[in-house]
Chain A
Amino acid sequence: MRPTSSRLHTVDNPKKSTTLTVMTGLFTVYCLLPLVWLVINATKSQADFVSSFGLAPGRGFALWDNIVDVFRYQDGIFSRWLLNTVIYVVVGATVSTFLAALGGYALATMDFRGKRTFLFVVLGSISVPGIALAIPQFLLFAQLGVTNTPWAILIPSFINPFGLYLMWVFTAEAVPSGLLDAAKIDGAGEFRTFLQIALPLLAPASVTVLLFSFVSIWNNYFLPLIMLKDPEWYPLTVGINQWNKLGSTAGNGALVQNLVITSALLTIVPLIIAFLSLQRYWRSGLALGAIKG
């Protein structure tokens, strides 16, 4: 958005259109409205929330009190949920990205027996709905006795077929095979060649896969809902819904909507920061997926 210094309108710098700006702007408002609502209402006390208009500020500014209350409520279980979520996300996203890079690299640069079958099955699995898979996973994991442990969340998050596909396409594009051969002639082993030559070249794709794994694990609701019984292991998504249900179950619980709203805001802030600060990377990664897809 450089200031238009010249009045010359070219293909690369056409005249701005007000109609188009307003129409796109309306859609932007639709996208922004719930988030604005969330921020405004996170600043209200429960009494203000019930009594004031949704998009107007409350009588007092209670954001700080709400945040403190969120971390104190039910003996501070929110910080436990936050910690769980961070563990699930950091371990899950890191392992899944590394495995996808390793596999994608092998698919792009090596031949091995059963490669075609492997590709067919793994790429086919992209269209298996995650939720349809979660119930079979639960049934198996229950049999193996890993339900209600962090492993029930971590193990499924290690596998990201779409990430593998992205890494494969990206390796073929960004890692010159001559460079790999040169490294091997210099005496580097296959794994060292991968770690020191290929992996740095795969950084943009890795950030993309990492970020999208991050989001899908952070936002995962169904899998933890069915796998975990003990609130001690809940991630944020399941925990927040637990609080949300408090007031509604037969009307005997305490209504803590101010805490539900504030904890929802606290849940999305890290994701939004991650997305905004890593824009450059995931946009190039997405672009690649879009073109090849």
Chain B
Amino acid sequence: MDIDQARGPDVGASAMADPGVARRSAPTRKRRKSRTGLAFIAPFGALFLLVFVVPILYAAYLSLFQERLVGGTTFAGFANYGKLIQDPQFWDGVARVVRFTLIQVPIMLIFAMAVALALDSMRVHGTRFMRVTIFLPYAVPAIVSTLMWGFLLGIKYGLFGSLNDALGTDINPFAPGTTLISIGVMVTWAFTGFNMLIFYAALKAVPRQLYEAAAIDGANEFQIVRAIKLPALRGSLVVTIIFSIIGTFQMFNEPQILPSMVANSGVTTFYTPNLYAYHLAFTGSQQGYAAALALVMAAITIAVAYAVQIRGLRNATDQ
């Protein structure tokens, strides 16, 4: 993820090579390697430019123009950005995804960690079955998961309809006030297993002799979890938090699909920033404004991801 950590294998690789041979032939060899290295990286590099760099530059260029009914597209400087900062619909969406992130991400990661610890403890019957089953939702497309949960939680055809009929209650998971919670249930369902597997893999990497040593010293299971297992999860926790934030900040599929399934769910065209950008670009034909929104949202996401990473690393070095 991170440049410093990522540099690790590189150092390892050059240390493995015979230093004597490497020194002698270094200059000629390096030049030859430099050319083949560039040739090997060129296909990826060229497509990366086309898919990542040029679109962002082009969007930055477009964001400086405004579409008007009269006079067509005109250069507007930073007017789109100024308008965006004062746009209550944009901030409404941002506030919603931030609120969602603050609640859903901790719940999901705590579940993922708890399940990983439980499965790793080898005290659970059917460990393999559960591990695979909990991961399966990750393979389900957002459209299918929204359809299933939309029907399941919906009051028209779903279980809550049956529940309301049976108990005479009036619970609607897709009322404007509860839709976001229902989306949280869907997102947690889809991604807990993926995060669980990352934690599980990190736990599996802990040398088992450590547990034996701790057991000989008289540590119980909870002490082992606190002293050995939780610290071992720190690195993967930073990674999963970053990926989860990136995921929830760009929430789009669920709120885009839901309105066609349930009426009056409270999902507006600006429910999340990406949904707003989509509507601006494709139904409002305000491409310049949509481009500005996409860029600002990407910048916010990257800033938050980096802040989490820096904090995570600082805490790690404090230890």
Q: Write the residues of chain A forming the contact surface with B, with a CB cutoff of 8 angstroms.
A: 1, 11-17, 20-21, 23-25, 27-28, 30-35, 37-38, 41, 49-50, 53-55, 99-100, 102-103, 105-113, 115, 118-133, 135-140, 143, 155-156, 158-159, 161, 164-165, 168-169, 171-173, 176-178, 181, 190, 194, 215, 218-219, 221-222, 226, 236-238, 240-241, 244-245, 248-249, 257, 260-261, 264, 267-268, 271-272, 274-276, 279, 283, 286-287, 289-293
A135–B59 touching, CB < 8 Å: yes
B123–A14 touching, CB < 8 Å: yes
A118–B152 touching, CB < 8 Å: no
A102–B119 touching, CB < 8 Å: no
B298–A264 touching, CB < 8 Å: no
The residue in chain B whose Cβ has the minimal distance to the Cβ of A169 is B9
Instruction: Report the minimal beta-carbon distance from A281 to chain B, rounded to whole angstroms.
Output: 13
Surface stretch bound by A, among B74-82, B98-106, B141-149, B174-182: B141-149
Q: Write the residues of chain B forming the contact surface with A, with a CB cutoff of 8 angstroms.
A: 1-3, 5-6, 8-10, 12-13, 16-18, 30, 33-38, 40-41, 43-45, 47-48, 50-56, 58-59, 62, 111, 114-115, 118-119, 121-130, 132-145, 147-149, 151-152, 157-159, 162, 189, 192-193, 197-199, 201-202, 204-205, 208, 211-212, 215, 221, 235-236, 239, 242, 246, 249-250, 252-253, 257, 260-261, 274, 277-278, 281-282, 287, 290-291, 294-295, 297-298, 301-302, 305-306
Q: Which residues of A contact B197 (CB under 8 A)?
A: 283, 286
The residue in chain A whose Cβ has the minimal distance to the Cβ of B302 is A127
| A132–B33 CA distance with the chains assembled, in angstroms | 37
B40–A132 touching, CB < 8 Å: no
Given the known inter-chain contacts A130-B250, A155-B51, A221-B142, please indicate yes or no for A248 contacting B261, CB distance below 8 A: yes
Q: 9 A-B contacts, Cβ less than 8 Å apart?
A: A1-B127, A14-B221, A20-B121, A99-B47, A107-B10, A119-B3, A139-B58, A168-B9, A237-B141
Instruction: Report the minimal beta-carbon distance from A208 to chain B, rounded to whole angstroms.
Output: 12
B123–A35 touching, CB < 8 Å: no
A54–B159 touching, CB < 8 Å: yes
B13–A133 touching, CB < 8 Å: no
